[in-house]
Structure 1
Amino acid sequence: MASSTKSFLSSIIFLLLLLLLQFHSSAGQTRRKGVYWFSGSEFPVANINSALFTHIFCAFADLNTNTNQVTISSSNAAKFSTFTQTVRQKNPNVKTMLSIGGGSSNPTNFASMASQPNSRKSFVDSSITLARNNGFDGLDLDWEYPSTPTEMNSFGTLLTEWRAAVVKESVSSGKPRLLLSAAVFRSSNYYGTPLPVSSISNSLDWINVMSYDFYGPGWSASSTAPPAALFGSGGQVNGNAGIREWIQSGMPANKIAIGFPFYGWAWRLVDQNKNGFYAPANGAATGAGISGGAISYRDIKTFIAANRVTPVYNATVVSNYVYSGTTWIGYDDKQSIAAKVSYANANGLWGYFGWQIAADDDSSTLSRTASTT
């Protein structure tokens, strides 16, 4: 009896120790905090407070349509070559990612490149060389978006070959393997065409889910709406639904980063007395800081101060808005950002990323809120 009791107690102690080790392992995991820097913003790299981030994406390298090689424009060459060195002055441990493509690039060019073995190899080999020569820790693909079954298959094949190539290069060079990520559609299904989730999961270290631009005056002109709502109902597009689809399709939660915007969208109200979500509107508003309906967070702050208005936070959908006269702006403020980071933590996501650092205000309000939540 004494022997069996001793054995039982030993088993209990072992299980408690195992649970304690698992707790410490989980608690010790570093939450990832990402942000994009966009060269077109003219925001100085030296002004990035890299202490607020674990990963910074340098955007964008280009795809040469003649050679299918990844290139850096002459206007960006100097900034990109010193990017890692510069941001590590404030945070020696920050990881840097060279991002390729972007929303202004032609998706047809990526589809053409990814369709053939030789052109894929040109892309893959040149991207690795470029990342190594410029001191980056990894590569990020921003192809917006593969949209047909054929393109999805090509996308999956490209990622598989990319992963094999960075592994091979790491072995031959003796250097740590380059990290791989991609900025992807808000859900794992692009308007009826499924993304190659298995290839994405097996090949990439994580994905940056673009959980924003759900609504904007350029494509949903007749009414205001939360541009980057976390939750929604009745068919409203929202971030949680997209994240859930990714996970249900087989993407591990810890390989998913949720994205949020450091900018908003401005509509022109039809009637300034009807000014909540889904109020009648007539396209994009105009005014200081508004370009094509888009407005940075720093300019939203200026708008609020100049018009002496009070923003509204809707905790149900997780989104902010503010209005003055017929100008109505939907955006993410501190409350929305904090709620989204808490959501990422609670759901075991890889972390988050913001687009883009130059649109934050001079106090880095959104970046600081995300980093300290």
Structure 2
Amino acid sequence: MSNYFDSQLLYKLSNYHDPAFYWTPKRVFKYALGTLSVLVVCGIIAFGLTSFIFLFIPDLDSVQGSVASTKFAAKPPSCSKRIIGYYTEFESIDVTKNQLEKLTHAVFAYIEMRWDGKIQFKSEKTKNRFLGLKRKAESVKSDVKVMISIGGEENSQFFAPVTADSDKFKTFIESVSNFLDDHQIDGVDFYWKRAAETDKWHYISMLRELRRKLKDNKNGHKDYIISITLPAAGIENWEVAYDLDQTLEFVDFINVFSMDFYGPWPNQWGTPAGPTAPLYSGVGARKNFNIDWTMEYYVCKARQPSKFNIVVPFFVRLWKNVEGAVENGKEVYRNAELKDNKVEGNSYMSRQTAQREGFSLKNSTWDEPSKSSYIFDSNAKTYLSFETEKSIEAKKKYVIDMNLGGFWVWTVDMDDDKSSMLNSLTSNGFCSGKNDETLKYKC
């Protein structure tokens, strides 16, 4: 409307000296009245729009405050104990929102460590699985913390040379810090597998310098989480690589690798077949290969039970060519035949894979001394070790009775399609318990 009247005015002015056009008092009054009418109409429209806005949005500040409070409102924790779920780069099953809402921490394993100290995604698939986990975690109702894990069986070889070289060490600390900041996640877990006693002080230096770096680079983020995974105690003296007192100054919690006491390894150590993560019991030279012995060792040294978490393996373990019991009365431990000096089987099989390959996980046998479930098929000569609702209940009672911090799960994406194991882990009031630092072990 304004453009139209402006063009008309320009037209009239351009014709001011036209002999055919002359200003008269009548024409001046006419155009002045028209301009005034336009201004009045525009004023009425502006007043009406303003009234409409304030009628339906009475307090814009309160709306903005509401949006801000929604964005930054703290979500409720899913459990008073830790339930840390690892989610891997190599499984094909995606984690679900329902699973994430039951976890306190979701840890992506693994981010690759390079020879020069930099960390990176191993592949595009790895990156996409991580980003998918992060997106889902951001949308759940609970306050699940997202972390990454570095190291493990296939990528621990660079820890020693990187932490021993000042330039590579600095690069590593910077790379980890930048990754957490770039992806806006909550922390990092280290699993330096087979660290030696000579690596002890380099390990401590790594944790101390990373903690210092993360404190300096918070950028408004609350405190970052640092955790480590410790090996089971009493096996080839792996535990001598760690100084627990100093470690606990820089980490938030410790996941103990309290499993793999028995496995169908491709060597002579693959026999006997036995429970993957027994609470108690053992046989022969492996009499101390159980959760209780390992946890007593670590907790008695550290004297902070709530800092430690035990593992619950969600996978199924299979031995083939299995025969009689190692000892009378210990049927859960059975001899496995060696072929070419190794055992045949499958060390890590998801529950869904086991079902697809025709293995039923129903009608398991319960071993009371070890608090473990297993299935031995004498006709097929197969032996399956796996967790059941009964074995998980025993582990939950143990964590509560011994005032431990909670569980870590290897791995969430190895559960069945109903999340049966994760549901068992979070049921029956486990998450409503209180933490206590009272030592229950006979140290």
TM-score by length of 2: 0.70
Three-state SS of the structure 1 residue aligned to 2:211 is helix
* Kept after mapping to 1: 8 A contact 2:263/2:271: no
Three-state SS of the structure 2 residue aligned to 1:363 is coil
Structure 2: how far apart are the matches of 1:57 and 1:29?
16
Give how far 1:207 is off.
Answer: 0.9
- Bigger radius of gyration: 2
| Equivalent residue number for residue 322 of structure 1 | 375
* Kept after mapping to 2: 8 A contact 1:64/1:70: yes
Three-state SS of the structure 2 residue aligned to 1:37 is strand
| Equivalent residue number for residue 161 of structure 1 | 209
* Kept after mapping to 1: 8 A contact 2:150/2:188: yes
Counterpart of 1:184, as a letter, is: L
Identity of aligned residues (%): 20
* Kept after mapping to 1: 8 A contact 2:270/2:343: no
Q: What is the aligned counterpart of 1:37 among 87, 107, 113?
A: 87
| Equivalent residue number for residue 258 of structure 2 | 211
Q: Could you report, residue by residue, the CA deviation over 1:253-303 in whole angstroms, capped at 9, with x for unpaired residues?
A: 1111111211132222443799932222115776xxx64x43323344567
**Residue 127 of structure 2 is aligned to residue 62 of structure 1:** no
Cα 1:285–1:264, aligned 2, differ >3 Å: closer, same or farther? farther
**Residue 150 of structure 2 is aligned to residue 150 of structure 1:** no
Counterpart of 2:376, as a letter, is: Y
TM-score by length of 1: 0.82
| Equivalent residue number for residue 186 of structure 1 | 232
Q: Which aligned segments of 4 or more residues in structure 1 are displaced greater than 6 angstroms?
A: 272-275
Structure 1: how far apart are the matches of 2:324 and 2:260?
23
Structure 2: how far apart are the matches of 1:296 and 1:259?
16
Q: What is the aligned counterpart of 1:231 among 280, 284, 289?
A: 280
Structure 2: how far apart are the matches of 1:216 and 1:189?
14
Counterpart of 2:416, as a letter, is: D
**Residue 295 of structure 2 is aligned to residue 243 of structure 1:** yes
Q: Could you report, residue by residue, the CA deviation over 1:25-73 in whole angstroms, capped at 9, with x for unpaired residues?
A: xxx98111111000211222446621111111011111111x2112123
Structure 2: how far apart are the matches of 1:54 and 1:369?
15
Give how far 1:319 is off.
Answer: 1.3
Structure 1: how far apart are the matches of 2:142 and 2:406?
20
* Kept after mapping to 2: 8 A contact 1:34/1:353: yes
**Residue 368 of structure 2 is aligned to residue 368 of structure 1:** no
Alignment of 1:337-352 (within 5 A): 337-352=392-407
Q: Which segment is superposed worse, 68-77 or 357-366?
A: 68-77
Structure 1: how far apart are the matches of 2:221 and 2:121?
23
* Kept after mapping to 1: 8 A contact 2:324/2:335: no
Structure 2: how far apart are the matches of 1:175 and 1:270?
53
Structure 1: how far apart are the matches of 2:279 and 2:372?
7
Structure 1: how far apart are the matches of 2:208 and 2:234?
18
Cα 1:251–1:119, aligned 2, differ >3 Å: closer, same or farther? farther
Unaligned runs of 5+ in 1: 1-27
| Equivalent residue number for residue 79 of structure 1 | 129
Three-state SS of the structure 1 residue aligned to 2:117 is coil
Three-state SS of the structure 2 residue aligned to 1:108 is coil
| Equivalent residue number for residue 13 of structure 1 | none
| Equivalent residue number for residue 294 of structure 1 | 348
Q: What is the aligned counterpart of 2:306 among 254, 258, 263?
A: 254
Counterpart of 1:198, as a letter, is: D
* Kept after mapping to 2: 8 A contact 1:269/1:281: yes
Alignment of 1:61-140 (within 5 A): 61-65=111-115, 67-75=116-124, 76-105=126-155, 107-140=156-189
Three-state SS of the structure 2 residue aligned to 1:52 is coil
RMSD: 2.7
Structure 1: how far apart are the matches of 2:409 and 2:321?
28
| Equivalent residue number for residue 221 of structure 1 | 270
Cα 1:311–1:116, aligned 2, differ >3 Å: closer, same or farther? same
Structure 1: how far apart are the matches of 2:83 and 2:325?
39
**Residue 361 of structure 2 is aligned to residue 312 of structure 1:** no
| Equivalent residue number for residue 356 of structure 1 | 411
Structure 1: how far apart are the matches of 2:214 and 2:405?
21
Equivalent pairs counted in the alignment come to 336
Unaligned runs of 5+ in 2: 1-77, 431-443
Q: Could you report, residue by residue, the CA deviation over 1:65-91 in whole angstroms, capped at 9, with x for unpaired residues?
A: 1x2112123412233235322123233
Three-state SS of the structure 2 residue aligned to 1:33 is strand
Three-state SS of the structure 2 residue aligned to 1:41 is coil
**Residue 184 of structure 2 is aligned to residue 176 of structure 1:** no
* Kept after mapping to 2: 8 A contact 1:256/1:349: yes
Cα 1:47–1:102, aligned 2, differ >3 Å: closer, same or farther? farther
* Kept after mapping to 2: 8 A contact 1:156/1:199: yes
